Structure 1
Amino acid sequence: LETCSHAQQLALSEQAGFAGVTEVNGDICQWHRLIDFQPPGGPADIGLMHFETPERLLEDGLDGSYHEIWQRLPESQGRNWGIWLRAAEQPARQACLLVAGDYFLFAAERPILLPASTGYLRDQLAAVSPALRPQLLACELSFGRHRNGATPWQITHSTLPGRVGDALLSSYWNFADPTSLPTADLAALGRYPAAGGWQRVELDVPTVSQEVPA
């Protein structure tokens, strides 16, 4: 991020992605975005879900603004788990590590938290000095495959382009048992690890639901 031109930084600011909690009420799903690449404070993320087949899911925005088709990847079946993390010296900063079969995702909030806003990240980027822009872009969502531990956990896609091809974790770790992850490895996860390390925590599940139209 530090070596990107301003034009490249603006392009990166258009990315989107989040991690959090999915709340299901019948066929209505709401996604509570606890880590979000874009500034918090946007409209509620609520959709109507319908399983066309056990492997194919249709999602439509309640406001009619989008229609999405989700297809299960065969390699995502099997062991599934998630670990929620918090920065030891900055409790408001969160992260999580998720495994779905052979796939993994690591999501980490940026070191400088964004203020709530109805705008976009590009607007906040334009309002700060060049020295601060990389920190606003430093929200990491890194996706890849662990291949049963046969090779390092290789990142194939990331909001941080320089992370593609990196190993998130060493290959020796047993992906099937999240309790076996060494504390030192857990503390140092990500391109911008927490200053005092990441610590495991119980996920704070939102208790106030968004009202949706009947």
Structure 2
Amino acid sequence: MITSGDIQGHWHRAWLKSPSFNDCETNVHWMQCGSLYADIRIPPNRPDVRGASALADLPDAALMALLRAEGFAGVVALRDDVCTWHREINWHGRPEAEDSGLLELNGSDQMMETGVYGDYAELWNRRADHPASAMHLMAGSAHAFIVSIGQRFVFGVGQPDAENSRNTIAALEAGQRTWALQEQLRHVFAFGRWDGACGLAELCTNPLLEGQPVLSCTGDGALIWHAVDFLGQSREVPLTQPAQVRIDAA
């Protein structure tokens, strides 16, 4: 039987297979600490954003390509060998179906996931499992999750009650840039590394932020989100009111 201890750590997906789709190129990082998790999925062949100073500078086709990314975070629940990822925040808004998978360990650092409500299989490899920490915070009215394993982290910001993005994407396909699109792209999911007190993004739903600090820790231990909106305007948002903290250290 799969236990909470079995799924802790930084997992990188090797591949996904389904009857109609095989994927070994999307860069997927899932980090788990205690019951909290964060997951980011960045597809290959992203648009060239060189020369752009803001997402608003990009053509609609480039924005459509960026919206192929995914990010979600929240808490997991285990029942026997089935894991359910409750998406407290989801970059694409409220999910249309429950996210549950049947897990099977292959040794200590490899795991197979097969869909409970979908016909798919995913192979995961564990990169590290300590030291680990996780936080659920507030970023103004939005929620933020940070899960760190070793020097790496996955960070996500979003609204728990955000509408599903299908209408936003349909509007963009019709050439309409809605306020909902700007709101979605204002929030971010990022995978990165800690460089001292600075969290540098290596992969991000906003590629203009890659190589840039998305998080920093002040001298008194407070965390700051370096937010950048659709128009390229930046501001520093304190991450406050911790709702949950899970820390495993070794």
Distance 1:189 1:61 in 2: 36
Say which of 170, 178, 182 aligns to 2:221: 182
TM-score norm. by structure 2 comes to 0.64
Q: Does 1:154 align with 2:170?
A: no
Distance 1:55 1:181, change over 3 A: farther
Aligned position for 2:247: none
Offset from partner CA, 1:1-42 (integer Å, 9 cap, x none): 121111111111221121111111110100101111113141
The 5 Å alignment of 1:96-175 reads: 96-109=145-158, 114-116=162-164, 119=166, 122-123=169-170, 125-126=172-173, 129-130=176-177, 132=179, 133-146=181-194, 149=196, 152-169=198-215
Distance 1:18 1:24 in 2: 18
Q: Does 1:48 align with 2:102?
A: yes
The 5 Å alignment of 1:12-91 reads: 12-63=66-117, 65-73=119-127, 76-88=128-140, 90=141
Distance 1:138 1:128 in 2: 19
Aligned position for 2:7: none
SS at match of 1:10: helix
- The letter of the residue matching 2:133 is W
Higher relative contact order (CA 8 A, sep 6+): 2
Distance 1:41 1:194, change over 3 A: farther
* Higher alpha-carbon deviation: 95-104 or 132-141: 132-141
Distance 1:120 1:36, change over 3 A: farther
Contact 2:135 2:145 in 1 (8 A): yes
The structure with the largest strand share of the pair is 2
Equivalent residue pairs, number: 186
Distance 1:129 1:181 in 2: 44
Unpaired segments of 5 or more residues in structure 2?
1-54, 245-250
Unpaired segments of 5 or more residues in structure 1?
175-179, 204-214
> Cα RMSD between the aligned structures?
3.1
TM-score norm. by structure 1 comes to 0.73
